[in-house]
Structure 1
């Protein structure tokens, strides 16, 4: 059992609660104005100790900044470079300026919701405050969710460590609505050919065809080695990715760590052989003029690149190289490929993920299924059930 003692300060009598934690270390909390408040606190402490929900008030004095450093180290160990870069940027730009010096035990749900509102309005304290002062710059829903996710992740660790009883960053009531995705633009066969034709060299031309017909991610395509192409079988071994992170190329495994074999159409055999001619097995297939990894083509409005130039010449609206991966899915499905084949081609974790991602592409398949079912029923003379 704990104890309650009174003491005097300039403002009058106060009460102190003392008890021993699970390690028999004496702990105290003081400043209670009435003995009843102190008794209620002590009773709550005893109950929480008995049911396993007890947390040491002293452990809650650690700041978000102190916990965040170790949390980020653990994430860096577990995540791919590109994913960690997004978390680190969110931590550095949004979370640390607001919460770095705040003790985790002092954070209230209302404080978190105020921060969400300020982020959405563009008035939150960030490392980019200078630009915000020129006029509020609202942050997108994805930026808000990512920043909140970082704070919530840190507090999740604090809960598991027994520093705080619950995570007040979970269950916020004022999260901004996620914007619905704009309809995807899938290129037709003729548009893909027109786009490839509009490029200015064989490397870019072959790359566009590869992305559009094999569904590789940009990082997987530019990370390909000559030895990854199995010409007799018309297969590509996707086993590495070259991701551009903060201006540097970082080599790693494909997304989701899924290595896979992807078929390529026979018409790509000759252009791929031309790019591989004279190269060693471990040389890159697609390179810039210096023989290094190709950098992702810029597609922002107001920026010109070889890719946007080709789009303009081909009279195709603004797309990104990643949209060619969606085109590959569309062309495969329209050619009659089943969902499992498309899943393996794209490297999705499951067929369900492929269906969720490209549900719009399977609408026509459902119509075909209904038509085939109808024909099957007619062939079995289902109409005789209604004959009198």
Structure 2
């Protein structure tokens, strides 16, 4: 499998190992101070080659920058522009400057850990986690390509994201906000259908079934770098959502003067853009409404989606129905996202259990039932 040869340097005797790689080309490694060290290397390398775990040192010389360019191209091919944009930004600003010139074989776990700590000192958890994820994904490619035996980024502890408290409006607050908005129909529609901004502003007249009061979501119009990108919904699946009957006159009024291919909201040709969070029409409407109702919280257009979930759940909608309305991948995701909305249900469950126990123990005759002594811990 290989051979060991000695040679002389200015620092003394050294040993060189010659061996054949899996492709049968010959290579060598020099600089061993003792013959035993050289023998250990030759033995372990022979085992790695036999078990197909051998990593060619020349393959590990590829840089993160070279693999990163390939990885970014792959993401652009499979992800939507709105998903690619934050990845490209994190790669360009945080990952490539730190790792672009580093050979993948030279990266150590401690290097990655120190970098994450450095980022965490000045950046939020979301940015740190996203930047780390890019580096880890690139090094995963190196592992699959047999450039690395394992990924040195895996196992690094990351900062935890703290979920932002969700804001929910009441029916009255939705009405107050809509009355003061430049686009009241948009406010009502978002608050009572749960559609995302891009899904609502991407609706065309042909997507609305007026007799059944249903809209079918086929497109999602997202603003990325100042440009509207129209694609499939976030889940890549179309879905049908029914709107309440009191919205019917408003929806019908938006049909006037438009054909089936035009957009429901706005002038029919240009997509409504997400209003600026500080001085856009939505933020102005919130401030005006707060003057009349100081209890109205500061909300964003996306908070109307949360409001829709809250109003539906409080009206008695089951989790599966809310999941379909919001377009979540599963009911479990809906429960995880809106767990706080089900807190009152825990009280209801406890009350129902108490009533059930009383009915079981005290039958309608009101004759007390004596529990057997072998059942401890439950009093009547």
Could you state the TM-score of these two structures normalised by the residue count of structure 2? Answer: 0.91
Unaligned runs of 5+ in 2: 291-295, 371-380
Residue 141 of structure 2, aligned match among 130, 152, 157: 157
Contact 2:194–2:306 (8 Å) recurs in 1 = yes
Per the alignment, residue 361 of structure 1 pairs with: 341
Within-5 A mapping of 1:31-180: 31-121=31-121, 138-173=122-157, 175-178=158-161, 180=162
Within-5 A mapping of 1:296-335: 296-299=274-277, 303-315=278-290, 316-335=296-315
Unaligned runs of 5+ in 1: 122-137
* Partner Cα distance (2:48, 2:35) in 1: 20
Per the alignment, residue 270 of structure 2 pairs with: 292
* Partner Cα distance (1:237, 1:277) in 2: 20
| 1:268 to partner: Cα distance | 1.1
Aligned length: 362
Per the alignment, residue 271 of structure 1 pairs with: 250
| 1:386 to partner: Cα distance | 5.0
Within-5 A mapping of 1:188-337: 188-200=170-182, 204-287=183-266, 291-299=269-277, 303-315=278-290, 316-337=296-317
* Partner Cα distance (1:29, 1:245) in 2: 51
Per the alignment, residue 129 of structure 1 pairs with: none
Q: 3-state DSSP class of the match of 1:210?
A: helix
* Partner Cα distance (1:38, 1:248) in 2: 61
Larger radius of gyration: 2
Q: Which has the higher helix share?
A: 1
* Partner Cα distance (2:368, 2:148) in 1: 70
| 1:10 to partner: Cα distance | 4.0
Residue 339 of structure 1, aligned match among 305, 314, 319: 319
Residue 185 of structure 1, aligned match among 146, 167, 174: 167
Per the alignment, residue 131 of structure 1 pairs with: none
* Partner Cα distance (2:8, 2:210) in 1: 87
| 1:375 to partner: Cα distance | 4.1
* Partner Cα distance (1:38, 1:381) in 2: 80
Per the alignment, residue 133 of structure 1 pairs with: none
* Partner Cα distance (2:174, 2:336) in 1: 25
